[in-house]
Amino acid sequence: QSSEHNILVIGVPNVGKSSLINSLRRLHLKKGKATAVGGEPGVTKAVLSRIQVCEKPLMYLVDTPGVLPPRLGDVETGMKLALCGAIRDHLVGEDVMADYLLYTLNKQQQFRYVQRYGLGQACDHIEPLLKHVALTQGRTQKVKVLTGTGNVNMMMLNYPAAACEFLRDFRAGRLGRVTLD
């Protein structure tokens, strides 16, 4: 008599549910990817069909989109989830997230960002940090300025791109190993 196991894989967005399924499939069946993975939430959009991950015992996993409670308990929980990539950045705002990240790094005395971006010392305000990120990472944009004598093209620092770079560096571990809880 053969028994078959069906297991539903659930969790918050962007924690590696699809990666787990693919790894188990590779390990036990020596087969390639069965489900798409990505670095941001929302790659898995619907509950997919069963994916075989093992022969003996016969085991199937079902991938699901990430789930979150309909309402988060507080703003800080939402910010932590956003910094981890469980909520799409643009829904919260990269500038707000960057500000909260700077606050968190300073609170935990994680000052690796000071050296990474060539700051003289730790800073409490996000604007000077983003200015240094934009300068060191070359985050600029060409802007047309209307003057009394005509149009002038100017290079300006791209603060939104700098905020995204700051978040990317954090998520890649380039600002140190930081625990948000």
Domain ranges of the chain: 5-63, 75-172
Residue 26: per-residue pLDDT: 86
- pLDDT tens digits, 82-107: 898 888 888 889 999 999 999 999 99
Whether pTM > 0.85 for this model: the answer is no
- Give yes or no for residue 139 having a pLDDT over 90: no
**Beta-bridge partners for 51:** 61
Class of domain 75-172: mainly alpha
Specify the DSSP class assigned to residue 47.
P
Q: Exposed (0-12), middle (13-18) or buried (19+): which is 62, by Cβ within 10 Å?
A: middle
- pLDDT tens digits, 160-176: 999 999 999 999 999 99
- pLDDT tens digits, 3-46: 888 888 888 877 788 888 888 888 888 776 666 655 555 555 55
- Give yes or no for residue 124 having a pLDDT over 80: yes
Residue 136: per-residue pLDDT: 86
What are the tokens at 70? 């309909």
How far, in Å, CA of 110 to CA of 11, rounded?
29
How far, in Å, CA of 52 to CA of 10, rounded?
17
Residue that is written with structure tokens 């983003």 in the block: 130
**Beta-bridge partners for 140:** 157
- AA identity, residue 105: L
Sign of CA dihedral 101, 89, 127, 129: positive
Residue that is written with structure tokens 């990474």 in the block: 116
- pLDDT tens digits, 53-64: 888 888 888 888
| First vs last C-alpha separation in the chain | 47
